[in-house]
Amino acid sequence: MIDIKHLRENPGVYRENAKKKFKNPKIIDSVLKIDAAWRRVKSEADGIRSERNKISEQINQSKKTGKDASYLIKKAREIPSRLEKTEEKENEIYEKLKKELYKIPNLMSKRVPIGKNEDENKVEKVFGKPKKKNFPVKSHAEISENLGLADFDSSARVSGTGFYYLEGELALLNAALINYARDTMVKNGFRYVETPLMLKEEIIDMVTDLNDKEKQIYLIKNEDLALIGTSEHSLIGRFAGQEINEKKLPIKHTSYSMCFRKEIGGKGIDEKGLFRTHQFNKMEMIVICNPKDSEKFFEEMKKISVEILKGLELPFRILKICSGDLGDLKYEQVDFEVYSPRQKKYIESGSCSNLTDAQARKLRISTRIKGARIVPHTLNNTALATPRPLIAILENHQKKDGSIKIPKALWKYTGFKKIEVKKSENKKSKRKR
């Protein structure tokens, strides 16, 4: 949500920003028109309140001096109904103004590449090179089922598509990824927090935009609750309506949670498995800070993601999200993508976003810097969402015999350095060939 005062003073800046995001700039003029109407009615309501105060004072003076106050009292009795009608109109227009304000995108960083859609996102940096295999690369679903460590048929039977059973070494590897990411976050100065997995719908409305809510969020029928799509929702929603003491800034929190999303990938290669699921594990991080520091923290969060992915010994890259693919609340975003040898392309594993004051304004979060009440900046970043790194580890670190090498950074969490192929499984594999 943008600052209406800044919009009034700089409408041209917002029109140009909307054009760069390939949105109709007429929304700016529409909002300004509603704003002007709201201010007129608000001024009218303020005038009635002022009139009420003056008449009240005149009645008091008349009574003190013994003058007849009947005319003034009659006028005073007419004011409440006039004020009530005007305030109702004021509130009605203001609610409309808020809804329309949500449609105006946050101002973007000058570093955001201009482009219509995800096809025009730009590669910022590449880390590592995909290693060529001298054998056909198996999909993560095939290799994990061959090893007896995943069961996607049973999960489809009991829950539907988009769910999974992990067991044995693969389940332990999943837990190792969570613990590794958690310890990396704590080492980098983030406070570990366990959060609710359900939030009131009004909080969901504040932390997401309408498009995300409709496409991704599971609402609980007959309850004012929704399942979180990421622990970012709980971490940042915690501060809704709060004034944060400036001495507590920056707030740097991280959380592990199970996440729930309605989205699921289209049909095609490797539809079965972990690529896009309704339920997954994720380590998230958020920052709430002084506005002057948000770009510094954006770079800090990016470095942490690079550190985590390097530790997994995976080829990966940073992708700068272009204007047309950038969410309306965001000032700047990069995605982290790991390489999938099976798909022969990079796949998203997480994203890092600076939302400047747009999200905090929507959540009514404030602070005071040198006594002045301001809106702080918020940022979020996926430290690690485990399904995509699991896919990348199974595909990049698989051996010809079907075994999987475990990245060294995870050894102390897994307790093993390799997922071995059991002899019985080797025999089954040979019989199939």
Which tens digit of pLDDT belongs to each residue from 33-63? 999 999 999 999 999 999 999 998 898 888 8
Beta-carbon count within 10 A of 105 CB: 23
Q: Are residues 272 and 414 in the same domain?
A: yes
Q: Looking at the 3D structure of the chain, how many domains does it have?
A: 2
Q: What's 15's domain CATH number?
A: 1.10.287.40
- On whether residue 142 sits in a domain, the answer given is yes
Q: Is residue 268 part of a domain?
A: yes
Same domain, 86 and 153: no
pLDDT greater than 90 at residue 358: yes
Q: Are residues 150 and 88 in the same domain?
A: no
Residue-level pLDDT at 431: 43
pLDDT above 80: residue 271 = no
Report whether pLDDT(17) > 90: yes
Domain of 57? 4-101
Domain-embedded: residue 394: yes
Shared domain for 53 and 201, answered yes or no, is no
- pLDDT tier at 423, thresholds 50, 70, 90: low
Could you tell me the sign of the dihedral formed by the alpha carbons of 276, 278, 307, 408, in that order?
A: negative
What mean pLDDT value characterizes the chain? 91
Among 67, 101, 135, the domain-final residue is 101
Domain boundary among 68, 101, 134: 101
pLDDT of residue 429: 47
In a domain, 107, yes or no: no
Residue 229 in tokens:
């799509």
Whether 86 and 149 share a structural domain: no
Residue 318 domain-assigned?
A: yes
* Inside any domain, residue 267: yes
Are 78 and 146 in a shared domain? no
Give the pTM. Answer: 0.88
Out of 35, 67, 101, a domain closes at: 101
Query: In the predicted model, is pLDDT for residue 136 greater than 80?
Result: yes
Contact, 342 vs 139, CB < 8 A?
A: yes
CA distance 20 to 324: 8
Same domain, 125 and 80: no
Q: Give dist(CA 278, CA 263) in Å, integer.
A: 7
Residue 268: per-residue pLDDT: 41
